[in-house]
Structure formats: structure tokens, C-alpha cells
Amino acid sequence: MKFAHGGIDAKEMGSATPAPSPSSGVQVQDPDARATETEARMTDDERFSMLYSLMVRIFGTHAREPRVPADVPAIAGYVRGVARLGVPPLMLADTSLGVRATDDPHAGATAFPATLALGATFDPELARAQGAAIGREVRAFGFNVALGGGINLVREVRNGRNFEYVSEDPLVSGKLGAALVSGTQAQGVIALVKHVSLNASETNKFFLDAIIDPAAHRESDLLAFQIAIEEGAPGAVMGAYNLVNGEYACGNRRILQDIVKGAMHFKGWIMSDWRAVGHWDFALKGLDQQSGAQLDACEWFNEPLRRAYDEGRISKARIGEMVRRMLRSYYAIGIDRPRAAEAVDWTAHHGVALEIARKGIVLLKNDDETLPLARNLGRIAMIGGFAQAGVLSGSGSSQVRPRGGYAAEVPLRSHPLLGPTSMCFYGPSPLAELRARMPQAIVEFDSGAHIADAVALAAKADVVIVNAIRHEGERFDCPDMGLPFGQDELIEAVARVNSRVVVVLQTGNPIEMRWRDKVRAVVQAWFPGQAGAQAIAEILTGEVNPSGRLPVTFPVSIEQTPHPRLPGADVELGTPIRVHYHEGAEIGYRWFAQCGEQPMFSFGHGLGYTQFTYGNFSACGGETVTVGFTVTNTGARDGDDVPQVYLTEVDGEPRLRLLGFERVSLQAGASTEVSLTADPRLLARFDEASGQWHIREGVYRIVLGRSATDHVAEALVKLEERRFGT
């Protein structure tokens, strides 16, 4: 094998089609044993060829990478296989909200709602269904690694990528992240969780040093990853761009080696994010694979790593471990055993996207039962948000082109790495969907571009629906919590001439609603995916009973958050900055409780068109907390509820933690019994000195609630002191 500048040539890379696995004489089923046996038979050239991936098309030039076989589509990454040993090449595709990976402009995939919308469902089984659908589509395209699984906690409400993540809470993020992973891997596709760790904002993120107390880190962001790894068993973990406590995340021995591989007992491999490797010695600190190697200043895990090996600066044992970790995931998930081609049931996958949108939309406010819309309305004004075109999506590596293409594209900006950025809309449109469901009404549309025209239309309507949007995405943060394009002024102007205004928000983050007391109803639709317009119309008309609950806290203003000034926004790009996350583990609703602040809308909040009551609440202690209670639908409609259990105090000391949740579906008048047992880590503090979790003996106040601030029952339990886990 020849190593030239840039590595292996295209001929030596071979075809993307894996060869059948040869017989070694002994059929080894255990993935660890198989990985050991295969790695032992490899040459050094074969080992090193697996330690970096190549982008198929190179950012900037859009030229095709000549070292990648010609039959590989334009995907995020390609890793050479070892045909003689039956080791398939890796075909890595971005899949945060669906499969993004093809040169064919006419091809497409299912475009799922924002992951925050999935988080708002509080439904791990729905997350598993999305993961399975993505896995089937990944296989249908001929790929075998799904680069989704974003479970960073929402620390910064202006973060442009928050819509790709699940929530601000480690339990919700860990549980739903695990379900996404297991759903995908059940389809024979490797899935991962990302980005370890503290990639909490986009501004200057390549040069941002996130400073955090190590114990607080374990109790928050890293706990989400620990739960997802334990319950989902992902084949891979992806590192982050930023530094953590002075060391780049992808070269941070404490996080990668000591915690992820050590304390969390992670058995797969750790890959970098694309353009996140600064030296070959990241391999000595726990990183197993460099991703998109052409993006970095050097293909560090190609020639430089090989030279370090030849010079004795990295051992054969470490190189072998890197390869074995990869092979173990190949064998555990079965990508070496190609399945027969299966046609994708696009209708069924659309149904999954629709169900997530329906269950993830959150009714934030509904004064005077303005919603659902009355069937006798004569005239409805729909204003703004390109509602005549479609529903908005976020941008970046999670952007999915749906089958049939976008309904509309509005160019916005150009990024030096990602290229042109546009607002992309999925059809059908909210306007068309509402008209189809309200045939008796005259539904008129105004773009909102000229406030005077919108006001004139609103003044003669029985009800006004303002569609408010904000484009968000990778590589940029929102400058504030307001709406762009003068939409706040538009809403206020419309509300002055019509007292019945409903605002539908399509955003990837909480927004500041200075007009909230001037409108009747507010619906948080997130970026609702390809079925979003239908789901919004169904919620507005009452065809579907809203049941989403907020996976993030909505502050009244940015001044209530730990970092009112956006870190890095006031320095030139490329300037090293340090961000002290002084809030530690007290993220989101925990921060508000610690500060005694009242948010605009609390974590876990969400209204519906029926009512639920809770009864027979009981709690018992010991080594952890187990609770039981009854949920009854006392309203006139069938509906879903999400009761939540929190820790609020330990021996009188405030400490707010979500301990458990359960999504329940009940017919009108029906009841159900719910029992939940808390993960003891949520009751504990992490003791950095011993490297263990510590529950102190004492009295713990446990509450049953509708949100982090709406508590309806409580109990005191006594817990025993104990140390456990790692």
C-alpha cells in the first residue's frame, strides 16, 4: 500500500460494495471475540486505513474526493473496508432529522420534525419509531452509519442548533436519545450520540473553552450521554468542536478515556466531528477516528499517525484497540451481514413524522378557549410566515430534502464552510391545510410584509392566525430572543385591531413574547417537518387534541438566563474565548428554581382540549424513590397527558430535578395507574474525589406535577446514605 500526500489512492480504496465474509474456520459470534480475531489478522496498512473518514465532496470546491470509489454517493464520510476479511466500508450519512445524502436532486428522504419537537412528545417509543424509520431509509440508500443522535443539553437559548437536540434535561435527553439509537440499530445500521461535550452554542465554537465544575458536568450534560449509552448501546460516540476545561473535546483524555470509555463502560468507538482534530496525539487521549479528514489542517490520523507509530510514539496496542472498537460495533450491529434490499414504506414513515408533529406541538396559551377554532367562523385571516408556501425547517447538516423537493427556498446568507444558506419550506402549506378543514369559512392570506395591509385584513376577520417564523441553523446563533423581519411589531399591530389573535410559532428555540398578553392563544410548532402543516391545522381546528409539553424553559427575557450576553459575539471569529458555565448542573428549569425566577412558560408545560386530575399519590424511599399515582381524564375529549415527578428539596435545601415522566393516553372519563422509580443518580451528587455518586441520608421532598413549577401533590421520603456507580 502506498501513502502519498493525502493517503490511499482511489484504486487501492476499492469498491464501496463489501465482499462476502470469508470463513476463518471458526464461527465466532461474540462481537468482542470476533473483533479481536479479525484485527489480529489485519496488516498495519489495513488498520490505519480505518482510522479516518473522507468526505465524498470537499467543502469549498465541491470537487469529488478521488480516493473515494466512484459508486459512493455524496455523503458525509467514507471509510475503507478490508474486503479479504469481510470488513465492509463505512458509509456515513447525516441523519439528525432524516437522511441527508445524495447527488440526485430528485431523490429525497422523510423530513422529520425538529428533535425538540420529538423531545416535546416525552415519548421514547415514538423516538424509537423515528429511529427505525431513519435506519430503514439509511439502508435503502446503501449506507450503514447514521450520524444523528444529538443530545447536547439546551444551555444557551440562542444556540442555532438547539432544534437538533432533545431537551434541557438529562433524563429526557438520555431516554429519548437511547430510543432513537436503538430504533436505528435494530435496522442493522450503526447509530451514535453526539456531541461530547458542552457544544452549547455555535458562535466561535472552534475556539471556545467551556469551563465547568467537573462534578456538575457529570450531573448534567454527561449524565444525558451516560443514560443514552447505557440504554441505547450506540455503536459510536461523536466528540465536539469546543474545548472543555482547557482541552479540546476530541482530545480530552478525562472525558473520552476516563469517563466515556471508563466510567460509562462504552464499548464502541469515538469519532471526531468534522474539522475537530488538531493533532495526531488525540489518538493517545481517547479519540479513535478522525472524521472528514480533509477538513482539518492535516489528515492527522493518516500519515502523521502512521509516522508516530513507526517512531514508537503510539503503541501497536493502542492502534489495535482503536480498530477493535470499530469492529466490535460492526459485528454487534451487523453491518457485516448485508440485508436483502427492502422497499421503503414512505407512507408509513410520513405517518411517523406526522405523529411526532402532532404530539410535539405545544399549546402554550389558550385564553377563553379560543382554540379549537369554532366551526361557525365566517372569516379567518392568516398572516405571515410564508404560510401560503409551507412550513419552515432548520438549516445545516440536519437539513433534509424531502421527496418531491422543497415547496420554497428563500436565500439568506452564505457561509465560508457550508456555502449558501436558505430558508427551506416543506409543503403542503398551512394555508391550504386550514382551508381544507374549514370549508365554510373564508380564509384569506396576507404575507405580513406591509403591516398596514395585514392590519386591514385582520380588522375584518373573526379570528387572526399569525404564523411567526425564525430561521435557525448550524454555524450561527440567534442574536437575541426576538422574532426577525419585524414580526413582533406585526403581531402587536394586528392585536390592536382584533382581540382574537392566535400566534403559531415555527422556531427552533424559545422566543421573547412581548406581545403575549395581547393575544388569545400561542402555539409552539417548532420546525414541524414535512407533515407539519397538516399537524398545525389539525391542532387549530380540534381534529387533534394538543398534548406536547415543553422540553425547554421559556424565559420572559434573555436577562433571566445564566448568560445574558451571547458568549463570543463581541469578538472576532477565531479569537480564543473562555465561557464559564457557572450555573453548573443547574440548567434550564433548575436554574430558574435556584434563582427564584418565574419563567414565561415552564419546562413540562403544555395545554390541551381536555382536563386531567391526579390522585392517590404515594412515595416510598430506601435506596431510591418509587412513586405511584392515578391519572384521570375528567374532560369531555380523549387525550394524552404527561405527568411529571420531581425532587424539590433535600433536608429543606432546594434542589429541583426531574425524576420521572410517563406519557398516558386516556379516553374521556378513563383512569390509569402509574408507577415510576427514579434513577438514583438524579437524587445524588457526583463526588469527584471518589469518582462515585453519593446520596446523602436525609428527607427528600418529592412532588407530582404538570410542569416544573405546577405541583399538585407531594410526599416526604427518607433515603439511606450510599455511594454507588461511576
Q: What is the mean pLDDT of the chain?
A: 94
- Distance, in Å, from the CA atom of 290 to the CA atom of 160, rounded to the nearest integer, reads 25
pLDDT at 228 (0 to 100): 99
pLDDT at 107 (0 to 100): 79
Instruction: Encode pLDDT of 357-373 as tens digits.
Output: 999 999 999 999 999 99
pLDDT at 417 (0 to 100): 54
CATH class of 610-724: mainly beta
Nearest partner of 601 among 706, 529, 507, judged by Cα: 706
Fold that domain 54-201+213-333 belongs to in CATH? TIM Barrel (3.20.20)
Query: CA angle at residue 721 from 717 to 726, to 5 degrees?
Result: 115
Nearest partner of 438 among 501, 391, 371, 375, judged by Cα: 375
pLDDT at 58 (0 to 100): 82
Phi-psi region of 340 (alpha: psi -120 to 50; beta: other; left: phi over 0): beta
Span 361-546 CATH architecture:
3-Layer(aba) Sandwich (3.40)
Bridging pattern class, strands 391-392 and 379-383: unpaired
**Domain residue limits, the chain:** 54-201+213-333, 361-546, 610-724
pLDDT at 277 (0 to 100): 98
Local structure of 252: helix, strand or coil: coil
Q: Which residues contact 651 (CB under 8 A, 6 or more apart)?
A: 698, 699
Neighbours of 138 (CB within 10 A): 29
Instruction: Encode pLDDT of 97-156 as tens digits.
Output: 999 966 676 779 999 999 999 999 999 999 999 999 999 999 999 999 999 999 999 999
pLDDT at 420 (0 to 100): 67
pTM over cut 0.85? yes
CA 664 to chain centre: 23
pLDDT at 419 (0 to 100): 60
Residues of the chain with pLDDT under 70: 1-28, 101-103, 105, 414-420
pLDDT at 415 (0 to 100): 62
